[in-house]
Each structure stands twice: as C-alpha cells, then as structure tokens.
Structure 1
Amino acid sequence: MRAWRFIFGLIAIALAPIARADNCNNAPDQTSMNECSAKASKRADDELNLLYQRIMGRLKEGGADWADAHTALVAAQRAWIAFREAECAFVGSSTAGGTIGPTIVASCLTDLTNDRINDFKRYLKCKEGDLSCPLPPK
C-alpha cells in the first residue's frame, strides 16, 4: 500500500507543472501566472486563426460574387487586431513595467479574442436567407 502512495505521489509531482499551466487561478507565483496567461492567449489566437481560415474558405467557395466580402474581412480583421493591441496596451498601462503587467495584457488579449471567436462562430452558423450574414450559404 505504501508503494502505491509513493507512486501516486511521484505522479502528482510530475503532473503538477502541467496542471499549473492549465489553471491560471491557482498558479503559485507571478511568473507562472504570466506564463499561463500567455499560453491561454496563444490558444485563443490559434482558435481565432482557424476560424478565420474557415471563413476565408467559405468566401473563396462563394466565387467572384464574394470578392468584396473577402476584401472587407481582411480590412476588418486588420483593424480589429490593431484595436485589440491598442486596447490591451491601454488596459495594461497602469501596470506596465510591473510583474503583473504581462498577465493583465494577456488576459485582455484573451478576452477580446474570445469575443471575436464568438463573432466568427456566429458567422459560420448563420442560416441561408439571413441577409445580415456576411458569408455565402453552404
């Protein structure tokens, strides 16, 4: 029985960094919080990029009739990225240079990116005939 407890203890110690990386609220120190927040922001950005590519694919499948929508999406996304970066720089300005600054900025980036992800998911689910849908029907 002691051997099993010892083995489970070793497993728990080995998995602690993984658990810490996925749960920013329980990070043991500021460095871990900063790393965790940065990883969360990266995951959100990766998901956003996948959805963006799906939307671009739908627009391309729509043919020449959707060329203006394609151009508009590129412009909108570039403007949104500039907004996101500027907004999060503003949000983090009161903690700039401090140890918590990276966590504040990364959390802001994640929140705004998740909002954009929800927009993209909504675009991808809109029904045929919805005139407010910026994508061609499937």
Structure 2
Amino acid sequence: MIVTAIAMIAAAIPPVPEWNCDDPQVQQEMNWCANQEYLEADAALNAQWKKTAAVMKLRDENFESTSDDRPGYFDTLLAAQRAWLTYRDTHCRSEGYYARGGSLEPLLVATCKTELTEGRTAQLAALVEI
C-alpha cells in the first residue's frame, strides 16, 4: 500500500518542474497533463468499482432462486467490466490513430480514455442506485 502511494505521488510530479497543467504550453506537457487527468479518472473508477462490486456480491448473497441458472450479479458485472476495458483501450487506440505516430497521439488516447472512464464510473455508480 505504501509503495502504491509513493508511486502515485511520483507520477503526479511533472518531469519538468516548469510544467503547469492549468496552462500547458508544449505538446509533451499537454500529453503529460492529459495522462494525469486519465490517472485521476482511473482512480475514481477503481474506487467506484470496489463499491459496486461489493453491492453486487451482497445481491448475490441475498438472491434466492432455484430456477435461475444465469450468472450472478457480480459475475455479470465482472464480465461486463472486462469487456468494457477491452473496448475502452481499443477504441481509444483507434482514436489516437488520427495522429498515428505523431506527438499528438498520446494526448488523443489519454483524452479518450478519460472521457470513457468518467462515463463508466457514472454507469457503475448508477448500478448501485437501482
């Protein structure tokens, strides 16, 4: 846990001290800042995942059916999440290909992943509100 915390702090320190994500000036700075936004969105997704997964496991425990042989709440959620991760990463790689091989590509990928991740976080939150 301590190693993870240190890694997250180190990741948030810009490689160039003058970089400022409030007003990025060069492409590398923009790319780094976009990736920081993605990392924040991913951390929020992981926090929401834990909450939603716990609720789904509880629903599985409380579900009583002798005639329903479909997967449980959690197994269904897990399969969906795995498929979504594959979709997100592949789709965003495709969006990055607009600038394939160029310095803009990492920005396009990170921005796409941030948008989709924020949307998925909201979807996971909505599942526990139902």
Q: TM-score range, shorter-chain basis?
A: 0.7 to 0.9
Matches of 2:100 and 2:62, distance apart in 1 = 46
Give the match for residue 117 of structure 1: 121
1:58-137 paired onto structure 2 within 5 Å: 58-62=55-59, 63=61, 65=63, 68-126=72-130
Q: What is the letter of the counterpart of residue 34 of structure 1?
A: N
Give the match for residue 13 of structure 2: none
1:3-82 paired onto structure 2 within 5 Å: 17=19, 20-21=20-21, 23=22, 26-62=23-59, 63=61, 65=63, 68-82=72-86
Matches of 1:98 and 1:89, distance apart in 2 = 13
Percent sequence identity over aligned pairs? 27
TM-score normalized with structure 1 length = 0.71
Give the match for residue 11 of structure 1: none
The CA RMSD measured in Å over matched residues stands at: 1.9
Matches of 1:68 and 1:61, distance apart in 2 = 11
Which 4+ residue blocks in structure 1 deviate beyond 4 angstroms?
none
Using the TM superposition, name which of 87-96 and 63-72 deviates more: 63-72
Give the match for residue 8 of structure 1: none
Q: Is contact 2:57-2:73 (8 Å) kept?
A: no
Shift of 1:33: 0.3
Q: SS in structure 2 opposite 1:98?
A: coil
More helix by share: 1
Shift of 1:16: 5.9
Shift of 1:72: 0.4
Contiguous gaps of at least 5 residues in structure 1: 1-14, 127-138
Q: Using CA pairs below 8 Å that are at least 6 residues apart, which structure has the higher relative contact order?
A: 2
Q: What is the letter of the counterpart of residue 30 of structure 2?
A: M
Give the match for residue 8 of structure 2: none
Matches of 2:18 and 2:127, distance apart in 1 = 39
Shift of 1:85: 0.8
Shift of 1:61: 2.5
Shift of 1:123: 1.9
Matches of 2:35 and 2:91, distance apart in 1 = 17
Shift of 1:68: 0.6
Shift of 1:43: 0.6
The structure number with the bigger radius of gyration is 1
Q: What is the letter of the counterpart of residue 43 of structure 2?
A: D
